[in-house]
Structure 1
Amino acid sequence: MDSFSTDNNQRLDRRRWLTSTAAGLQAAVLTDLFIGDIYGVETRPARSVFDLKPQSTHHEPQATSIIHLFMNGGPSQMDLFDPKPELDKRHGQAYFSELASEVENPTAAGALMKCPYKFSQHGESGQWVSDALPHTAEIVDELAIIKSMYTTNLTHEPALFKIHGGQELPGMPSVGSWVSYGLGTENQNLPAYVVLDDPLGLPVNQSQSWQSGFLPPVYQGTRFRSTGEPVLNLSRDFEQTDRVTGLEQELIAGLDRIHKNKRPGQLRLDARMASYELAARMQLEATDALDLSEESQQTLDLYGIGKEPTDNYGRRCLYARRLVERGVRYVQLYINFQIWDNHTGLTAGCKGACDRTDRPIAGMIRDLKQRGLLDSTLVVWGGEFGRLPIAQLPANKDTANAGRDHNKNAMITWMAGGGVKPGISIGATDELGFAAVEDRISIADWHATILHQLGLNYEHLYFERNGLKDRLTGVEEAHIIKSILK
């Protein structure tokens, strides 16, 4: 039975409610105490695990917010930021035997395949970017590009669990949940962790990508929609005075308190009650945060809003800026199911993904910088793995429509702002782009660095359960990526 279910013996009928009225009203009067217990009164001496009050950091933070631009499907490193002249020279040569054990679909494996785009150096830093990303090339001096990251699984589901929760298994807290748990929220009227998903499709693990796992449910991501109401059922279908609304909320809070006191220790009940309180406070603030009517036309143009194919993703990038402006700790953006999963049709497919995201992301970086927000906001970009240097052929073996299969041995990611050195690249892959060989960066290293920039020590941020101290990085050895930090 669901932990929120009640049987007939525990349900408050009318008679029992009337006899409990005094206690109920008394609890209603204490609603503010309940709200403070979850969100806000600094004078409370002890922290509860359900607490979303701002928490002390382990060391001086370089960033106060994260914008995580997650690229569903696995972007191709050698077609975007990691040019491989040797791969171009050896285009069409057989190479399957050298990496047979690393191919997810061996029956479709082809020969080495060159990048279909042209690379050139950009900015004062001279960083290499392919012509599929012309707008990112213009802001490359803000980026710290990591060319030597790798993961541990070449299948979407476990790789997604790994990049989001540190392990290949479901049920682990996501990075955003760990950040919310460690730092709380700066704005009591908005969630600490907001997910801006794509209305055209979710990642294959769907909402498990932003779950709180074994952490209390209050730390899971709150999904904001990019069209219509930001949160379903947040606003009323009819007008009601503030006084009536306030009395209604006080009464409900009192009944919630009675219900909770009879069921101690139920984490999901605490989380649900907290979410109801937050929903009441979000009615104005969430709507305002996602109201773009006050933005100038110049800003809308910067993000590609009102134009295709950038409108949808551009809106969510602008929402992300507006949310971190308002104190949201962790904002995560997703893009249409598996848009980067170009098993076939690489030339058009990868370019299509770039066309949808390139201008909005570059515009957001510029906007954050000109508003003075980039220094305090760490922006991270990347997917769950990379791609192979060999072709993956369609069923008809048409090489003109080839793509690339999954690759766990090398993947590309970048960071910007939030105490990261701008205009640098670190690490290297082999001459074909198959494997990271220099300054190899693990997922645990990446997670540890994100936490570090927020003022959290990855070893000291843990949750005790079953007699063990669970961490985002698990039992893996992790290292801060100091070479990209100021």
Structure 2
Amino acid sequence: MNIYDQQIQHQTRRHFLRGSGISIGSIALNQMLGTNSTATTIDPLLPKRAHFEAKAKRVIYIHLTGSPPHLDLWDYKPELVKRNGEDCPDEFYKGKRFAFTSGRPKLMGTPRTFKQFGKGGTWMSDAIPNFHSLADDLCVIKSMNTDQFNHAPAELFVHTGSPRPGRPSFGSWVTYGLGTENQNLPGYVVLISNGVQPNGGKNSFGTGFIPSVYQGVQCRSKGDPVLYLSDPKGMNRDIRRSSLDALKQLNEQAAKDFGHPETLTRIAQYELAFRMQMAVPEVMDISKESKKTLESYGAEPGGSSFANNCLLARRLTEKDVRFVQLFDWGWDFHGTNPGEDIRGGLTNKCAKTDKPIAALIKDLKERGLFDETLIIIGGEFGRTPFREGRTAGGKVLGRDHFPDAYSMVIAGGGARGGYSHGETDELGFSVAKDKVHVHDFQATLLHLLGFDHEKLTYRFQGRDYRLTDVHGKVIKEVVS
């Protein structure tokens, strides 16, 4: 007699009727709502339908932690260059909050060289040469705006819709809404360059109050791909399977008795971990790629570089992983040391990133995956149009945090290529045309994935929560 049989023998009539009622009611409710009963009660990661036909099936989100200087990459301001070194006008800094700026700062035009590329004449600087040939594939949103000016709350805001910890991340919302098409891999994978965690910590890819099965799973390109995935010493795969079967029986009975959603989550997580033991090591092994492919990305097997992670993003996307999140540290260009200088420091940083990103886009196009994969590139806010004062005695050029105006880039997955949306004023201090708030950006991304952002909700403590909170509108101009 197994554990389940023993539990059945001890069921009272009241227990049976209560459990049967819940089960029958759940099935009836799922049928009325047109949902997949299996996906919601047995495996929450099974594929689900979006609200309408989607432009994109999956996402690769490249977060540049620290926030790149958009005025030195995408948003060319010739008037700012002309007025370089002038005192900043009062209206642009007095009464405003900055992270480190004090006193009257000096305007700072970009030291970079800008040119226009592609049919749409997209402005780009010399810091990102590998992007130049991809101008017609990129949609540059130059009129972004956020409420936050410090790293952790701003990062949480863009990824979870709230500056405070405890809300589900964008990847969790997408996986919750769509499930995954590969049951042997996580629906939501996180890749972190050189192991440096994002400013928001694991909250930036967490689930908050929705079931933890939708949590981002951090995979590593060096060592064990996923921590604690391997069998403990002395345990083989057969023993592990037997242990999981016993745990499954206990958890299924607990789910019937208490109805806690995390119990079903545990079952799904244990089963996924068992399947991942075979699938994850294979997909994370980039040594199987050709020499040509490795060189195009600048990737080296065994490392944990950003280039390796871009190649892994393509491999995971090819295996139908729903959401791949990359975090790359080192974009906080304050100018306090040579590495943060927007001349040499930015050149060095971009040399490690624009090549693999460009290779990723080209690779996806060659494999027929680009049109159904939404690629997102950017940070948590912008950088000031004036020079920060803490610049190594004036020898280094840097910019402070700036929430009022910045740029984000999207490509593939229904994004309008070769198009620049919105404008900032002639000095780059504020949005002059077509302002896009963070919640608008999130609503637009969800729209490309087939969601009405007002209907993708989760009830918690008596309230229906969503990624866009109670705000957000779809920016239809950036949709192809």
| Among 340, 352, 368, the residue aligned to 2:332 | 340
Percentage identity across paired residues of the two chains: 39
Distance 1:43 1:341, change over 3 A: same
Check if 1:371 corresponds to 2:363: no
Q: Is the 8 A contact 1:120 1:129 kept in 2?
A: yes
Q: 1:19 Cα deviation (Å)?
A: 9.3
- Aligned residue number for residue 382 of structure 1: 378
Distance 1:256 1:466, change over 3 A: closer
User: How many angstroms apart in 2 are the aligned matches of 1:19 and 1:460?
Assistant: 43
Amino acid in the other structure paired with 2:161:
G
- Aligned residue number for residue 317 of structure 2: 324
Check if 1:303 corresponds to 2:317: no
Three-state SS of the structure 1 residue aligned to 2:123 is strand
Q: Is the 8 A contact 1:52 1:184 kept in 2?
A: yes
Amino acid in the other structure paired with 1:205:
G
1:71-90 correspondence to structure 2 within 5 Å: 71-90=64-83
Q: Is the 8 A contact 1:72 1:339 kept in 2?
A: yes
Once structures 1 and 2 are overlaid, which stretch shifts more, 88-97 or 360-369? Answer: 88-97
Distance 1:106 1:244, change over 3 A: closer
1:181-330 correspondence to structure 2 within 5 Å: 181-236=176-231, 243-258=238-253, 264-306=258-300, 312-330=305-323
- Normalised to the residue count of structure 1, the TM-score between the two structures is 0.86
- 1:242-269 residue CA offsets vs partner (Å, 9 max, x unmatched): 545433432343344456556x244444
- Aligned residue number for residue 130 of structure 1: 125
- Aligned residue number for residue 405 of structure 1: 400
Unpaired segments ≥5 residues, structure 2 = 10-26, 28-34
Distance 1:93 1:475, change over 3 A: same
- 1:186-235 residue CA offsets vs partner (Å, 9 max, x unmatched): 11111111111123411122101011112111111111112111101212
Q: Is the 8 A contact 2:168 2:208 kept in 1?
A: yes
User: How many angstroms apart in 2 are the aligned matches of 1:241 and 1:434?
Assistant: 61
Q: Is the 8 A contact 2:335 2:399 kept in 1?
A: yes
User: How many angstroms apart in 2 are the aligned matches of 1:300 and 1:46?
Assistant: 38
Root mean square deviation of aligned Cα: 2.6
Q: Is the 8 A contact 1:24 1:251 kept in 2?
A: no
User: How many angstroms apart in 1 are the aligned matches of 2:288 and 2:38?
Assistant: 41
Amino acid in the other structure paired with 1:380:
I
Distance 1:245 1:105, change over 3 A: closer
Distance 1:68 1:20, change over 3 A: closer
Once structures 1 and 2 are overlaid, which stretch shifts more, 234-243 or 427-436? Answer: 234-243
- Aligned residue number for residue 117 of structure 1: 112
- Aligned residue number for residue 156 of structure 2: 161
Once structures 1 and 2 are overlaid, which stretch shifts more, 189-198 or 380-389? Answer: 189-198
Amino acid in the other structure paired with 2:344:
A
Check if 1:420 corresponds to 2:409: no
Q: 1:236 Cα deviation (Å)?
A: 3.0
User: How many angstroms apart in 2 are the aligned matches of 1:462 and 1:48?
Assistant: 18
Three-state SS of the structure 1 residue aligned to 2:409 is strand
- Normalised to the residue count of structure 2, the TM-score between the two structures is 0.87
Amino acid in the other structure paired with 1:82:
D
- 1:422-470 residue CA offsets vs partner (Å, 9 max, x unmatched): 1111110111112111111111111111111111110111112233221
Amino acid in the other structure paired with 2:328:
I
User: How many angstroms apart in 2 are the aligned matches of 1:82 and 1:176?
Assistant: 28
- Aligned residue number for residue 95 of structure 1: 88
- 1:116-166 residue CA offsets vs partner (Å, 9 max, x unmatched): 211112233321110000101121221011000110111112111110111
- Aligned residue number for residue 449 of structure 1: 444
Amino acid in the other structure paired with 2:461:
N
- 1:159-178 residue CA offsets vs partner (Å, 9 max, x unmatched): 11110111222111111111
Amino acid in the other structure paired with 1:306:
E
Q: 1:49 Cα deviation (Å)?
A: 9.9
- Aligned residue number for residue 13 of structure 2: none
- Aligned residue number for residue 24 of structure 2: none
Three-state SS of the structure 1 residue aligned to 2:141 is strand
- Aligned residue number for residue 354 of structure 1: 350
- Aligned residue number for residue 178 of structure 1: 173
| Among 465, 471, 474, the residue aligned to 1:480 | 474
- 1:399-425 residue CA offsets vs partner (Å, 9 max, x unmatched): 221310010011111111001121111
- Aligned residue number for residue 45 of structure 2: 52
